[in-house]
Amino acid sequence: MLRLIFRILIAAFGLWLATQIVPGVSADGWKTLVIAGLLLGIVNAVVRPIVTVLTFPLTLATLGLFLLVVNAGMIGLVAWMLEGLRVQGLWAGILAAVVTGVVSWGGQILLGDTKSERE
């Protein structure tokens, strides 16, 4: 349970960092960011696997780069569901996805939540 809370907070921190350095991404405050982190976790667990399978040919043709668009779409979906989070345009979404992805990756390393440890 504590690990889940940390992951939500890491996602919220990644979104906050994106609001600070990516033009076109903004949030109303920490409450919005924590809710967005929770929603992003749910969307990534439920919607992203389906979208990833459906877009596999494009992902394969672009050597994985299309996953950036998929991740941007997940952030855009969260922004659409949550009134206080705004992402203005595809490029803002892609850059926000890169920032949140790097922060999440760093958080996984800090938490020791790597793929090899889960197996």
**Which residue ranges make up each domain of the chain?**
2-118
Q: What is the pTM of this model?
A: 0.85
The secondary structure of residue 28, as a DSSP letter, is S
Q: Which of 50, 101, 46 is nearest to 72 (CA)?
A: 101
Considering only CA atoms, give the Rg of the chain: 14
User: Contact at 8 Å (CB) between 86 and 62?
Assistant: no
Phi, psi dihedrals of residue 27, rounded to the nearest 5°: -140, 155
Question: Per residue in 38-83, pLDDT tens?
Answer: 999 899 889 999 999 999 999 999 999 999 999 999 999 999 999 9
Question: Per residue in 50-62, pLDDT tens?
Answer: 999 999 999 999 9
How many beta carbons lie within 10 A of that of residue 81, not counting itself? 14
